[in-house]
């Protein structure tokens, strides 16, 4: 059986790459190679950049209302093909079908926001800033923008990027993860069907070599990235060194603080889903549960519930989550679990020998739960990116806040409590960008922005929401006088408006 070769999308056409280097795309549950992604040649990357630059000349002049209509048609097509996209995504990532559909839906929500672009692109005005002088501003696009997306959300995160950028009047080059490129390819097909002009969106595939061209080419004005901390640092440093606007979303170590006045069963249910859902491959997963005071008494019951969770194949309706994305990812998670045992943490639930019937070659790791974890342990300090939850015990809310604030990451956190004063204190004092109160994974809806802090984000402006508009645009301010007569008061030798 011939293996499907993923194509590049350049100049409005899907084209076979001229490369001789291909990356296998595997089913994480079976290791079957389901496709091959090309490593685009340098000439192909440059051709994509040139095509995007040429398309920008005309796309920037398209009325904002017409750009909005493209997004309206696009979101309608995404909804129409929602289940199909979910199946494609599930098969190449291993996610359960419901989780895959959720990935697609969160992306659709961002496209809906992009359809509101006319109001989001409005500038400001002020009349008579000086006698007979008015000032007003316009929001204008930057030019060619680029996005580099990770494997764990192959629908949502590309849809964070190119719809907002293109709605602002830019053109865009997408470099999706080479581990699951089939979902982004289908997203692009639907975007073309929605009426996007040729050249507005380009797609290239590959790895570091292809990314480096985007980072260094002066025609690329802004670049958005989501991925690991080391790569995010590299992207940010290299991109800004080449005078680009960069937003780089990185890793996390998200804490959930459990107050003893919270509802025990609600807490347990939420911790199970937020820690091992999607096999823990979420930058907003809860990986540390901080039990305050007597809430530590719930740890044995949480362990019992986690032990009942079973992973499985994407089309198994009883599966709680799927495999890890690759054998390498599994090996790293298993090695971290072994490290936790060596460091003295108590492994109450051990998923290292997980077996799923019928799928002996899958990248399976079962739910894993450590208690008696301390802040000096590697399993606490590093993002594991697997179905592993660490329990830490403290006596007071103040200690919990100090623990979270001392952590170098700041993506998301949550607190479970029935006390409004405790919730208010936590949300005010915690040094984390996204806070949930009795909500485990506080990913904001797209009329807000995704606002990670500290080492979870490198840059100044965040994804989607109003900050995305600012990231993908420039503000031009005009100060104008239209005198009613030819009266000339002579030269003004000061900076003051007269």
Q: What domains are there in the chain, each with its CATH number?
A: 4-251+452-480 (3.40.605.10), 254-408+412-437 (3.40.309.10)
| Selection from 41, 60, 44, 38 nearest residue 11 by Cα | 44
Return d(Cα 469, Cα 422) in angstroms, integer: 35
Task: Convert the pLDDT of each residue in 207-245 to its tens digit.
Answer: 999 999 999 999 999 999 999 999 999 999 999 999 999
Neighbours of 214 (CB within 10 A): 27
Task: Convert the pLDDT of each residue in 395-453 to its tens digit.
Answer: 999 999 999 999 999 999 999 999 999 999 999 999 999 999 999 999 999 999 999 99
Residue 478: is its pLDDT beyond 90?
Answer: yes
The alpha carbon of 250 is separated from its chain's Cα centroid by a whole number of angstroms, namely 9
User: Model-level pTM?
Assistant: 0.96
Contact by Cβ (8 Å): 431, 455:
no
What DSSP letter does each residue of 318-373 carry, written as one string? Answer: T-S----S-HHHHHHHHHHHHHHHHTT-EEEE--TT---TT-TTS-----EEEES-
283 is catalytic: yes
- Stretch 260-273: mean pLDDT: 98
Which of 39, 145, 168, 283 is catalytic? The answer is: 283
Task: Convert the pLDDT of each residue in 282-308 to its tens digit.
Answer: 999 999 999 999 999 999 999 999 999
Task: Convert the pLDDT of each residue in 114-165 to its tens digit.
Answer: 999 999 999 999 999 999 999 999 999 999 999 999 999 999 999 999 999 9
pLDDT of 355 reads 96
| Selection from 190, 53, 71, 58 nearest residue 119 by Cα | 71
248: tokens are: 């780089």
Query: Facing residues of 14 across strands?
Result: 9
């Amino acid at each position: 059986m011939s293996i499907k070769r993923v194509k590049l999308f350049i100049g409005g056409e899907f084209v076979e790459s001229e490369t001789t280097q291909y990356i296998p795309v595997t089913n994480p549950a079976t290791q079957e190679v389901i496709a091959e992604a090309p490593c685009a040649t340098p000439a192909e990357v440059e051709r994509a950049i040139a095509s995007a630059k040429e398309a920008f000349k005309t796309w920037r002049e398209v009325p904002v209302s017409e750009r909005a209509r493209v997004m309206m048609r696009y979101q309608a097509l995404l909804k129409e093909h929602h289940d199909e996209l979910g199946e494609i995504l599930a098969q190449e990532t291993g996610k359960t079908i419901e989780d895959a559909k959720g990935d697609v839906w969160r992306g659709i929500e961002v496209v809906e926001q992009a359809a509101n672009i006319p109001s989001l692109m409005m500038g400001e005005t002020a009349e008579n800033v000086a006698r007979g002088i008015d000032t007003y501003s316009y929001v204008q696009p930057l030019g060619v923008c680029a996005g580099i997306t990770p494997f764990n959300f192959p629908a949502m995160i590309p849809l964070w990027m190119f719809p907002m950028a293109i709605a602002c009047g830019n053109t865009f080059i997408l470099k999706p993860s080479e581990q699951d490129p089939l979902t982004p390819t289908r997203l692009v097909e639907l975007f073309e069907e929605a009426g996007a002009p040729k050249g507005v969106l380009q797609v290239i595939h590959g790895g570091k070599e292809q990314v480096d061209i985007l980072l260094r080419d002066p025609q690329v004005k802004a670049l958005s990235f989501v991925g690991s901390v080391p790569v995010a640092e590299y992207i940010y440093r290299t991109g800004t060194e080449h005078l680009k606007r960069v937003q780089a979303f990185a890793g996390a170590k998200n804490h959930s603080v459990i107050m003893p006045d919270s509802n025990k069963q609600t807490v347990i249910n939420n911790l199970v889903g937020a820690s091992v859902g999607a096999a823990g491959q979420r930058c907003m997963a809860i990986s540390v549960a901080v039990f305050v005071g007597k809430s530590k008494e719930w740890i044995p019951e949480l362990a019992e519930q986690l032990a009942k969770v079973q992973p499985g194949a994407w089309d198994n309706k009883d599966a709680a989550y799927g495999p890890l994305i690759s054998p390498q990812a599994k090996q790293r998670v298993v090695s971290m679990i072994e490290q936790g045992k060596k460091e003295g943490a108590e492994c109450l639930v051990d998923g290292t020998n997980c077996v799923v019937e019928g799928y002996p070659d899958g990248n399976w790791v079962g739910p894993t739960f450590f208690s008696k974890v301390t802040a000096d342990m590697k399993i606490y300090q590093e993002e594991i990116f697997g179905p592993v939850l660490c329990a830490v015990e403290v006596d007071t809310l103040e200690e919990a806040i100090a623990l979270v604030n001392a952590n170098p990451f700041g993506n998301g956190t949550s607190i479970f409590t029935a006390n409004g004063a405790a919730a208010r204190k936590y949300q005010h004092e915690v040094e984390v960008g996204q806070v949930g109160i009795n909500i485990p994974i506080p990913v904001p809806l797209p009329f807000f922005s995704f606002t990670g802090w500290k080492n979870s984000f490198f840059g100044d402006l965040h994804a989607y929401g109003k900050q995305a508009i600012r990231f993908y645009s420039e503000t031009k301010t005009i100060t104008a006088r239209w005198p009613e007569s030819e009266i000339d008061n002579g030269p003004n030798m000061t900076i003051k408006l007269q």
